[in-house]
Amino acid sequence: MNGLMITPRARRTGIVFNRSTFFDILKFLALIALLTFLLYRGTKSLGYNWQWYRVPKYLFQFEEGKLIIGPLIEGLMVTFRIAAFGLILAFVFGLVTALFRMSSSFVARVVARGYLELIRNTPLLVQIFFLYFVMAPVLGIDRFVAAVLALSLFEGAYASEIFRAGIVSIHKGQWEAAHSLGLSTFHTYLHIILPQAIRRLLPPLTSQAISLIKDSALVSTIAVYELTMQGRAIVADTFMTFEIWFTIAAIYLVVTVALSIVVNIMEIRLKIVQ
Amino acid sequence: MQGQPEREYIIEVEKINKTFSGGVHALVDFSTKVRKREVVVVIGPSGSGKSTFLRCLNGLEEIDSGSIVIDGIPLDDNKKHRLEIRKEVGMVFQLFNLFPHLTVFENITLAQRLVRKKKKEEAMEMTVNLLKKVGIPEKANNFPNQLSGGQQQRVAIARALAIMPKVMLFDEATSALDPEMIGEVLEVMKNLAREGMTMVVVTHEMGFAREVSDRVIFMDFGRIVEEGTAEHFFTNPQEERTKLFLSQIL
């Protein structure tokens, strides 16, 4: 292969470093430089008074050698909690809805379809308001629970279509083999169908998880003090609109990219096992 | 195996009909009975209904009318009956249908644990024995896609045997194999027949039929056209359609 060295690492990751890779990186750096320049020109013409030096203390600060967590990081922790509970619930809603849609029971199919269409065809913001202002007093739940519930119901509807696609994609022969061995429908799903489907579903489910994390910003509208809400409060106090919002965007970016990387590693591992 | 005293029937099929949604009448008033320890080979052109017949026997296809009784249990709407029949009937498919995410060992152990509720040690012992029986004990920890077609089909046979069925169904078990691998799978099937397993085998392998079958059924258009020993089909087929079909496959 043109005397090209394929290192063990390259074999594992599929990345081969050669001259064209070098030029690719050069082009990428040029693009970044151009974008930075444009951004600089844009903000310059704004006449905005940048005060980046005031931002770090909203992340964290040291006082007398002790680490004090700032409101943005506090908000991020709340976002994490919302996202964690939300994701678990969303996947449960998604899986149950998918199974309902494929079940032989007419009622289950109608319920699943109704939920799916209702959620997909109305704005998330309205759903959050509905749950918090209308349902929460009836059910006696606080704003955090209402937020988690609204988000997971919303993302769950989308996740259900992903689950369904994954389950349908498993070859009919797998069902027949399980059936002929006397496995129940439950055991067939648990041991045969879902383990195979999950491998195919990881990439689209990751997108859904990222959506959930970003959409969690919307629960700031019902005054849940997550990352975005903290940001709004700080902006109201300090008028550092751009600094704070850019910082928040960067935090979301770091979180979602980290999630993507983790899932990528999981995917590679699952492939090796199979 | 002629001349032996009358045995109890283990499969009783009475006038079953099956029409597919496309309007194809796959089985037409189809009746037959299979004795315990009998090996029945079903032959016939593609689309003659032989696979459908097999798939009706363990409930993979629903019949429109008629009755199927396996080992005294009627295959009806009763879920308990259906489950019981699925446990008593093992099936081997043309395309193996092994579980790709499980090792060979796990493929064979799974149903023993879940369906037969065996203890772990018992199931493991049985799996080891079954793998020896089909001649690939060294492949226990491989995944199906690391095996040849012939090896995969032998694992599939071991997997079906693991639930200790009373009847084994073979749906064109060697049709998807490369020619050099057909022999090894047929060998396993022949051994099984000699051990006295009741078998219904859809195949085109007339050599197999001649060696181990008690009866051959020739089907066309969802009906039995001719029925007899393998020898009868080789030496003295009666129907024109049978002769034509045999001349094409032999």
Picking from A181, A188, A190, A200 by the largest number of B CB atoms within 10 A of its own CB, the best residue to mutate is: A181
Radius of gyration in angstroms for the set of CA atoms belonging to chain B, rounded to a whole number: 18
In this complex, do A274 and B160 lie within 8 Å of one another by their Cβ atoms?
no
**A124 interfaces chain B, CB cutoff of 8 Å:** no
Q: Is A261 exposed, middle or buried (0-12, 13-18, 19+ CB in 10 A)?
A: exposed
Global pTM reads: 0.81
CA distance B59 to B68: 10
* pLDDT at residue A217, rounded to an integer: 93
pLDDT tens-place values along chain B, 250 residues long: 454 555 589 999 999 999 998 888 999 999 999 999 999 999 999 889 999 999 999 999 999 999 999 999 999 989 999 999 999 999 999 999 999 999 999 999 999 999 999 999 999 999 999 999 999 999 999 999 999 999 999 999 999 999 999 999 999 999 999 999 999 999 999 999 999 999 999 998 989 999 999 999 999 999 999 999 999 998 989 999 999 999 888 7
CA distance A115 to A137: 22
B238 beta partners: none
In this complex, do A179 and B101 lie within 8 Å of one another by their Cβ atoms?
no
Q: Chain B residues with CB inside 8 Å of A173's CB?
A: 93, 95, 97
Q: At A128, give phi and psi (nearest 5°).
A: -65, -45
**Among the listed residues A75, A111, A231, A210, the one whose alpha carbon sits nearest the alpha carbon of residue A151:** A210
Scanning every residue of chain A, which has its alpha carbon at the shortest distance from the alpha carbon of B95?
A: A173
Which ipTM did the prediction report?
A: 0.91
**Cβ pairs A/B, distance under 8 A:** 62
**Among the listed residues A144, A165, A269, A246, the one whose alpha carbon sits nearest the alpha carbon of residue A207:** A165
**A180 interfaces chain B, CB cutoff of 8 Å:** yes
**Which one of B93, B114, B163 has the shortest CB-CB distance to A173?**
B93
In this complex, do A183 and B89 lie within 8 Å of one another by their Cβ atoms?
no
CB atoms within 10 A of CB A69: 12
For residue B9, the distance in angstroms to the closest alpha carbon of chain A comes to: 21
Q: Chain B residues with CB inside 8 Å of A273's CB?
A: 101
Scanning every residue of chain B, which has its alpha carbon at the shortest distance from the alpha carbon of A185?
A: B83
